[in-house]
Structure 1
Amino acid sequence: MNKPPLIRAVKAQPPLTLVITWSTGETLPVDVSRLVRRYKLYGPLRDPAHFRKAKADAWGHAVQWPGDVDMGADPLYEMAREQAGEWGPERFAAWMARHDLSLNTAAEALGLSRRTMAHYRTGSRPIPHVVALACEALSARWAAKAA
């Protein structure tokens, strides 16, 4: 993403969802329960009263809580988009794995460069909607051939 979106406002909703208004004009919910369960750092957020104290930092780069606990805007935005049904790095990597594709074979199938595939798989570049549609179309074509 050329200019990462900034957090304009945030509201915590139980059990562990943040509703974030972004500088892009979007308002997207993001379930952060996986992060809270996985990382010890986020342990205090398991307390609903503490979780409700979420606020955007002054620059819009993170959601923060008392006790020096914060979550960065970039991964939150990526998670929110993925949870909204858009393609992100986890879904792209799963697509490659499901079809047993290497970076080279994925690049060949999509008519793109290996480097671009690496960017999509790591999340260093957003996956354009047209690429997500192409992945879904290839999955359908390959499933039809296998049937």
Structure 2
Amino acid sequence: MTFSSWYQLKLFVEHASGISMDALHVLAGVAILLLAARVLRQSLANILPWFATLILEIGNEIYDLSVEIWPDPGMQLGEGAKDIILTMALPTLLLLAARLSPNLLTGSGNQPLSDEQVADRPDVPIARSASPRLHDED
């Protein structure tokens, strides 16, 4: 794929989908983050997928600056900065959620672990009792 065909592909996707380029940046950011996590075999809590997304987005914006020439460079640089912010907003939120509150992403909440889950985790001490209840009521 040549550089001009990359630009044409981006224009095609924008016009064929009817989704604004700004919204496509948001969607692409999440898609790239998930793909990078899969390819790198890393959790969303790891910084590597986020960093890969940032590098690809910065590369895309550098490409855009070289292909599109605007009459006002300040506007063009501002648009590029906005694209980076839009692309990285949700990946940044997902990274922070995965690192600071992983239960939000796993759905485990404050649910107690089942006996099978406890047995599979060597770091959780196993209580040796005949009954899971503390007191038998008579």
Structure number having the greater helix percentage: 2
Greater percentage in strand? 1
Q: Is the structural similarity TM-score above 0.5?
A: no
TM-score range, shorter chain: under 0.3
More RCO (CA 8 Å, sep 6+): 2
Q: Of the two, which has the highest radius of gyration?
A: 2
TM-score of the pair, normalised by structure 2: 0.26
